[in-house]
Every structure is written in C-alpha cells, then in structure tokens.
C-alpha cells in the first residue's frame, strides 16, 4: 500500500512539474535521492582539488577500454590462423577501425600513465595513512591486474612484436624455481607459443582479468568511501578537521574535465598517429628483436644484468622484496605525518625507485642506439611494419574444394553421379544440406549401405513429399552413390 505522504507533497507543492513528479515516482521505488546523496555529497576535507582527479580518470579510461574492447570483438578472432588477418581487417578496412583500435591500444598506455600519477599522488600526499591498509592493498592488486591486462592484450594482434615480446615474457616466468616451467606451459598451453597460447591470453584478457578488475574497483571505491577522503597533506587522515566540501559539483566538474582532457588526447593521438600493425608473426624468424612497450622497458633492461645462475636474484628475490615493501607500506610507515618533507625515508625511497626506472629506461635507449647492428635491425623492423601498413588488406583465402579428389574411384564416380543426378540441387554441394533438402554428411554412420541403396530406389513418403525422386539408374551407379555418401564426413 502506498503511503499518503507523496500525494500530499504533490498537491501541496503545486508548481512541481512533471519532471519532478516522475523523479519522485522513481525515488519512491528505487531510492534515487538517497543514491544521489550517497554518491554526490561525499565530503572532501579541505575542498575540491585537481590533485584528486586521477582515480576518476582511471575509471574513465577503464570504461573506454571496456567499450572499445567489446566493439573490437565484433571482428576479432582469437586463433593463430585468423587473429592477424582480422586485426589487419579492422585496421585497414573497417570504418573507424584504425581509430578505435588505436584508442584501445593507446588506452593501455594511458591507463599506466594515469595509474602512476594516481599512485604518486597517493604516495606524496600520504593518503594511504590512517586505517587505509586494505584500501592500499586493493589498489596494489588493481595495479597488478592492469599490468596483466597490458601483458595479455599485447599478444592478441599476433604480429611479430606481439609474438616475440610474449615469448620473452613467458620465458621470464619459467625462471621461477619449482613452478616456473609449469607456469610457462600453463600460460602457453604447451611448450611452444601457438594458437592455444593465444586462446589463453584472450580468455584472460576479456573474461578473467576484467571480472577481477570490476570486483576490485567496487572494493576499492567501497573502502575509499568507508575511510573517507584523506584531504590535503595538512589534514589528520583519521579525524579530519578542515571544512569539507561536497564531491558535487566542483570535484565532479574537475574529474570530468580531466576525463575530457584524457579522451581528447587519446582521440588526437589515435587520429593523427594511428597505431600500426606489423607483419604476421613468423615463429621461424631468428633475426627479430623484440622490444616491449615503454612501461616494460625498465624491467626489460633490469633483466639484462642478471645472467645465468644469478638470474633468480634479479627475476625473483629482488622483485619480491620490492613488491613486499610496496604492499606492506601502510603497515611499515605507521606515523600519521603526511608532509613529504617530514618523511625523508619514504620520500627518498620513492625518488630512488622512480629515478632507477628512468635510469634503466635511459640505459636501454643507449644500448639500442649504441650498437650499429641493433640500430640497423630495429630500423629494418620499422620499415617492414610500415611496408605492411601501406599494403592493401589481403583477405584470407578459403579453399574452393578442400579435399580435391577422393582416392577411391567409386567415390569419385559417386560424386559425379551425385551432381549429374541433381542430388546436389537439394542436398547441397558435398551433401552439406540446403533449405530444400536434408544434410547428408554423416548419413553413412546412421544407415547401412543396403538401407541407403533401398531409400535411393524407393524413398519414403516423407522423402517424396520433400521433393525426393526415386533413382532409376543401374545398380553399380547406386553402389557408387552410396560409396560417395559414406565418404561424406
């Protein structure tokens, strides 16, 4: 039963227009007002700031990735046979295809950039302090998942760089003691990189990791709202004292402004410098020099310094220590002090990690540009990519008659009779079936040759109603047709 209050409300406030009444109707049923209040009136101690836009920006690019990803799946086929052709089709033929693919591919870089900005802001502002351990850990997990999205998505176009970069990436995993080799075969779906590896990466990229990201984004936002916005560095992160401002409208406007900037930058880049596709992966190529995306370059360079027996230290021990320190940050750094200049150890560590990554990137650049052999090979690869991009789209050719000639002469004769007697008119070429006649492929498994011969001579009433005419040909010819029917599998 309805309460009387809404009716009174409507009649007492007579200027209330239709829109207001409709809103009230929805509000009574869905609780819109409470929902809006909950999402828009979140207090931000110390007021709205541009420093807080990165979280919303990340969510926005993630949504863009989901939308463009779903659209790309309209044409993409995750199989080693067709993946490269379908991506070439998207890039070279489909309307707006190059643009959408570029938005998606550059979007992964944008994700990493904004993720690093979000992380740097959280770190410098000390926003992980004050009962925010779970919030921090959920954020770290999202970081790992986004890196996983970049890694799995990179293989999908199945061009040279995708293939060889992923071959290296999965080889690194095999260096892990005990489980390494198993892990590599698990990711690749075998010892070698083939179509099963592509399927696995596809499933991880479009089903598993996105589902985990959705769940963790929900947890991250929930934990954020539960702890409350941390506010500026001068604020007490547990009991904020500064005057709060609501999320809506100024912070919403800033967040949307940043998102608009991001999509404008992505759109501009995608339109004027579209993402390229290289030649199809050729596992037999021994010359190709794989170079990972820019965000993996420091790690790529790092691995060069850990040859042979020491590799385990560089690949496993040191990264594990760094990851443990990173995840454990809010447990280790328990002071509530947030001003960066009063946190020399944390600030120093941050600067050290950041500068190391930049230095590793610079060293990698120097290595690639110092060796004339490498420079030449990398230039050749760029040239091959550009050559492939200039070439018109080449559709994949599907064979006319896959099994050109069946070996058994009786079958060959039967096939000729099958066509001469117009059986194929209704039952289709090769007995594949049409609207007018049933499919004959596999009929030999259901009936004996005698039964088939009998039906050819004397079709059932049901068959006759369907248009089947009795065959009045020689017995040898019937035998030939039956042999042909039996060969249809």
Q: Which residues bind other proteins (CB under 8 A)?
A: 47, 67-68, 71, 74-75, 82, 85-86, 88-89, 93-97, 99-100, 242-246, 248-250, 252-253, 256, 260, 263, 393, 395-401, 419-422, 424-426, 429, 436, 467, 469
> Shortest distance, CB of residue 176 to other proteins, whole angstroms?
39
* Rounded Cα gap, residues 354 and 287, in angstroms: 33
Beta carbon nearer to other proteins, 7 or 422: 422
Strand residue runs (E) in 446-485: none
Beta carbon nearer to other proteins, 260 or 351: 260
**Strand 43-45 versus strand 244-246 pairing type:** antiparallel
Burial 197-214 (b: 16+ CB within 10 A, else e): bbebbbebbbeebbebbe
> Shortest distance, CB of residue 319 to other proteins, whole angstroms?
39
Beta carbon nearer to other proteins, 65 or 86: 86
Beta carbon nearer to other proteins, 133 or 245: 245
> Shortest distance, CB of residue 306 to other proteins, whole angstroms?
43
Question: Facing residues of 244 across strands?
Answer: 45
| 244: three-class secondary structure by DSSP | strand
> Shortest distance, CB of residue 313 to other proteins, whole angstroms?
47
Question: Torsion angle of alpha carbons 266, 270, 272, 277, nearest 10°?
Answer: 150
> Shortest distance, CB of residue 156 to other proteins, whole angstroms?
15
> Shortest distance, CB of residue 243 to other proteins, whole angstroms?
5
> Shortest distance, CB of residue 464 to other proteins, whole angstroms?
12
Closest by CA to 150, choosing from 186, 112, 198, is 112
Beta carbon nearer to other proteins, 48 or 206: 48
CA 407 to chain centre: 46
Beta carbon nearer to other proteins, 13 or 95: 95
Residue indicated by tokens 């709060």: 244
> Shortest distance, CB of residue 280 to other proteins, whole angstroms?
13
Instruction: Give 279's contacts (C-beta < 8 A, 6+ positions apart).
Output: 159, 160, 384, 385, 387, 388
> Shortest distance, CB of residue 233 to other proteins, whole angstroms?
16
Quick one: residue 19, left, alpha or beta (phi over 0 = left, psi -120 to 50 = alpha)? alpha
Beta carbon nearer to other proteins, 336 or 436: 436
* Rounded Cα gap, residues 15 and 27, in angstroms: 19
* Rounded Cα gap, residues 439 and 307, in angstroms: 61
> Shortest distance, CB of residue 70 to other proteins, whole angstroms?
9
Question: Facing residues of 44 across strands?
Answer: 245
Beta carbon nearer to other proteins, 34 or 260: 260
Beta carbon nearer to other proteins, 63 or 317: 63
Beta carbon nearer to other proteins, 199 or 421: 421
Helical packing angle, 54-72 and 209-227, nearest 10°: 160
> Per the structure block, which two tokens stand in for 443?
């009929």
* Rounded Cα gap, residues 137 and 119, in angstroms: 12
Q: How far is CA 116 from CA 109, 158, 279, 323, in A?
A: 11, 28, 32, 15
> Per the structure block, which two tokens stand in for 208?
């598993």
Beta carbon nearer to other proteins, 40 or 120: 40
> Per the structure block, which two tokens stand in for 47?
């007021």
What's the Rg (C-alpha) of the chain? 32
> Shortest distance, CB of residue 411 to other proteins, whole angstroms?
18
């Amino acid at each position: 039963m309805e309460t009387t209050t809404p009716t009174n409300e409507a009649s007492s406030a007579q200027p209330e227009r239709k829109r207001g009444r409709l809103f009230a109707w929805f509000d009574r049923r869905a609780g819109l007002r409470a929902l809006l209040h909950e999402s828009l009136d979140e207090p931000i101690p110390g007021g709205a700031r541009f420093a807080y836009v990165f979280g919303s920006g990340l969510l926005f690019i993630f949504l863009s990735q989901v939308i463009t990803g779903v659209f790309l799946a309209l044409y993409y086929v995750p199989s080693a046979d067709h993946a490269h052709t379908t991506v070439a089709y998207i890039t070279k033929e489909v309307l707006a295809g190059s643009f959408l693919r570029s938005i998606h591919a550059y979007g992964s870089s944008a994700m990493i950039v904004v993720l690093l900005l979000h992380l740097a802001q959280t770190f410098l502002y000390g926003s992980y302090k004050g009962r925010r351990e779970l919030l921090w850990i959920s954020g770290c997990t999202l970081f790992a998942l986004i890196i996983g999205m970049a890694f799995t998505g990179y293989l999908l176009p199945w061009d040279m760089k995708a293939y060889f970069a992923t071959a290296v990436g999965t080889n690194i995993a095999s260096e892990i003691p005990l489980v390494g080799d198993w892990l590599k075969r698990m990711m690749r779906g075998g010892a070698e990189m083939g179509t099963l590896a592509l399927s696995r990466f596809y499933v991880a990229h479009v089903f598993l990791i996105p589902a985990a990201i959705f769940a963790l984004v929900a947890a991250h936002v929930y934990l954020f709202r539960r702890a409350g916005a941390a506010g500026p560095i001068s604020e007490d992160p547990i009991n904020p004292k500064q005057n709060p401002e609501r999320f809506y409208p100024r912070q919403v406007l800033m967040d949307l402004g940043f998102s608009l900037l991001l999509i404008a930058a992505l759109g501009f880049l995608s339109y004027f410098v579209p993402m390229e596709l290289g030649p199809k992966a050729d596992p037999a190529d021994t010359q190709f020099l794989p170079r990972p995306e820019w965000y993996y370059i420091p790690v790529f360079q790092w691995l060069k310094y850990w040859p042979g027996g020491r590799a385990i230290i560089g690949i496993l021990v040191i990264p594990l220590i760094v990851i443990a320190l990173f995840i454990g940050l809010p447990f280790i750094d328990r002071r509530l002090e947030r001003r960066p200049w009063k946190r020399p150890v944390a600030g120093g560590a941050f600067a050290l990690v950041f500068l190391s990554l930049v230095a590793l990137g610079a060293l990698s650049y120097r290595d690639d540009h110092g060796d004339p052999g490498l420079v030449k090979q990398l230039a050749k690869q760029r040239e091959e990519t550009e050559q492939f991009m200039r070439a018109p789209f080449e559709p994949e050719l599907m064979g006319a008659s896959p099994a050109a000639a069946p070996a058994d002469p009786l079958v060959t004769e039967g096939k000729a009779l099958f066509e001469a007697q117009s059986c194929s008119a209704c039952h289709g070429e090769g007995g594949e079936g049409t609207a007018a006649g049933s499919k004959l492929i596999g009929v030999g498994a259901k009936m004996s040759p005698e039964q088939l011969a009998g039906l050819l001579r004397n079709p059932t009433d049901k068959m006759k109603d369907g248009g089947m005419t009795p065959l009045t040909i020689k017995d040898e010819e019937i035998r030939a047709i039956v042999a042909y029917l039996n060969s249809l599998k």
